[in-house]
Amino acid sequence: MTYGFETLAIHAGQEPEGRTGAVVPPIFQTSTYAQDAVGAPRQGYEYARSGNPTRDALQECLAALEGGRRGLAFASGLAAEDTLLRTVCRPGDHVVIPDDAYGGTFRLVAKVAERWGLSWTAARISDVDAVRAAITDRTKVIWVETPTNPLLNVADIAALAGLAREHGARLVVDNTFASPYLQQPIGLGADVVVHSTTKYVGGHSDVVGGALVVADPGLGDELAYHQNAMGAVNGPFDAWLTLRGVRTLGVRMDRHCDNAERIAAYLHSHPKVKRVYYPGLPEHPGHETAAKQMRRFGGMVSFSAAGGEESAVEICNRARLFVLAESLGGVESLIEHPGRMTHASAAGSPLEVPADLVRLSVGIETADDLLADLEQALG
């Protein structure tokens, strides 16, 4: 029997608890577990960095939602990324990253992993030939986000999976923007899916977390070894909050998409907007690829202000219902200026973003209220 997405979100890893029948997986707020005899832990649990039932429930659920063989949860998206890079790469290896990667991913690769001996090339991941040209004989990982942050570029996951296989590299897909409800990279040939569960998976802007899901159980074992050895795990309460969010992922994503589609269409015809970046718009260069590999087009919309940088900043400052804040993927709508906020650290690098850009994380409020707020903010 195979279950649908929403059923898995609510039930995978979440059997009623054995002793009490608690319908919701309890928060096992403990650091250690009693053993019946030396070397005989009761249920395989010894110490909570190595294993915790609340975390296990989340991991099992995420693996099911991504169609992977194993899920691993971490303290943050970047903790997951660091554990992944230092599991699958050795000093001297090379990775290809998107030329508009999430700023924290860029910083981790360029400022931290580089000192540890990893080299990297930034490539336009919406262009398979550009990615091919960036590959060297030391390339171990092709890292893509799709859609990307904040320009919503779209990578062809199946094509890049084929390219990675040809070159003995692994394809890693940061699926944070799409969430497993909209896109399942493992089914398209990716080796590893990365999440900042802080965003859509958690969905309520109340917890930071990360996750990895893998197709190959052998790689899953290696990553689990490093999860314990490096220790960047999430706590039981954070795992519980994330799992509470996951149960409604499908219904939330549908409303995020409904609202984002209306807002993208509205901005598209607004005289104070120069350009809208939303993969759901037919003229978006990644529209066809997105339509092929995504269920819908997501809740993130970026646009360029016709009045340039100052106008973009003013729009952000004038918004009321759209809260001016970094991050994304929560039920509430957020607005930000990537050039001066989330992507300020990319200034002067190949990842610099346009100064007139505004990024919206469209929430699940009443769409008319969101449109009215944008109307007054655009002035």
Ligand X SMILES: *Cc1c(COP(=O)(O)O)cnc(C)c1O
Q: How far apart are CA 139 and CA 170, in angstroms?
A: 9
Give the CB-side neighbour count of residue 66, counting CA atoms within 13 A. 34
Between 149 and 179, whose beta carbon lies closer to ligand X? 149
Pairing of strands 70-74, 334-336: unpaired
Could you say which of 70, 199, 296, 359 is catalytic? 199
Q: Minimum distance between the CB of residue 326 and ligand X, rounded to whole angstroms?
A: 9
Residue 348, token pair as written in the block: 């002067």
102 catalytic, yes or no?
Answer: yes
Q: Is 199 in the site for ligand X (CB under 6 A)?
A: yes
Residues 113-172 binding ligand X (CB under 6 A) are: 145, 149
199 catalytic, yes or no?
Answer: yes
Could you say which of 33, 45, 102, 181 is catalytic? 102
- C-alpha separations of 97 from 134, 139, 156, 287, 355 in Å: 9, 11, 14, 21, 22
Q: Minimum distance between the CB of residue 188 and ligand X, rounded to whole angstroms?
A: 18
Q: Minimum distance between the CB of residue 104 and ligand X, rounded to whole angstroms?
A: 5
Between 76 and 311, whose beta carbon lies closer to ligand X? 76
From 28, 33, 45, 102, residue interacting with ligand X (rule: CB under 6 A): 102
Between 139 and 146, whose beta carbon lies closer to ligand X? 146
Q: Are 249 and 65 in contact (CB under 8 A)?
A: yes
Between 179 and 304, whose beta carbon lies closer to ligand X? 179
Residue 345, token pair as written in the block: 């650290």
Of 5-13, 21-29, 73-81, 263-271, the window that binds ligand X (rule: CB under 6 A) is 73-81
Q: Is 196 in the site for ligand X (CB under 6 A)?
A: yes
Pairing of strands 300-305, 35-37: unpaired
Residues 169-188 binding ligand X (CB under 6 A) are: 174, 176-177
Q: How far apart are CA 188 and CA 172, in angstroms?
A: 12
Q: Minimum distance between the CB of residue 314 and ligand X, rounded to whole angstroms?
A: 25
Q: Where are the beta strands (DSSP E) in the chain?
A: 35-37, 40-41, 70-74, 94-98, 119-123, 139-145, 170-174, 192-196, 210-214, 273-277, 300-305, 323-324, 334-336, 357-361
Residues 274-333 binding ligand X (CB under 6 A) are: none
Between 149 and 153, whose beta carbon lies closer to ligand X? 149
Between 208 and 370, whose beta carbon lies closer to ligand X? 208
User: What DSSP character marks residue 346?
Assistant: G
174 catalytic, yes or no?
Answer: yes
Q: Is 76 in the site for ligand X (CB under 6 A)?
A: yes
Phi first, then psi, for residue 352 (nearest 5°) are -55, 140
Cα distance between the two ends of the chain: 54
Residue nearest to ligand X (CB): 77
Q: Is 77 in the site for ligand X (CB under 6 A)?
A: yes
Q: Is 359 in the site for ligand X (CB under 6 A)?
A: no
Q: Please write down the HEC assignment for all residues of 156-217.
A: CHHHHHHHHHHCCCEEEEECCCCHHHHCCHHHHCCCEEEEECCCCCCCCCCCCCEEEEECCH
Give the CB-side neighbour count of residue 15, counting CA atoms within 13 A. 6
From 14, 54, 105, 234, residue interacting with ligand X (rule: CB under 6 A): 105
Q: Which residues pair with 171 in a beta bridge?
A: 142
Q: Is 56 in the site for ligand X (CB under 6 A)?
A: no
Could you say which of 100, 174, 191, 356 is catalytic? 174
From 68, 210, 250, 298, residue interacting with ligand X (rule: CB under 6 A): 210
From 198, 259, 304, 333, residue interacting with ligand X (rule: CB under 6 A): 198
Give me the residues that bind ligand X (CB under 6 A), please: 76-78, 102, 104-105, 145, 149, 174, 176-177, 196, 198-199, 208, 210
Which residues participate in catalysis according to the annotation?
Answer: 49, 102, 174, 199
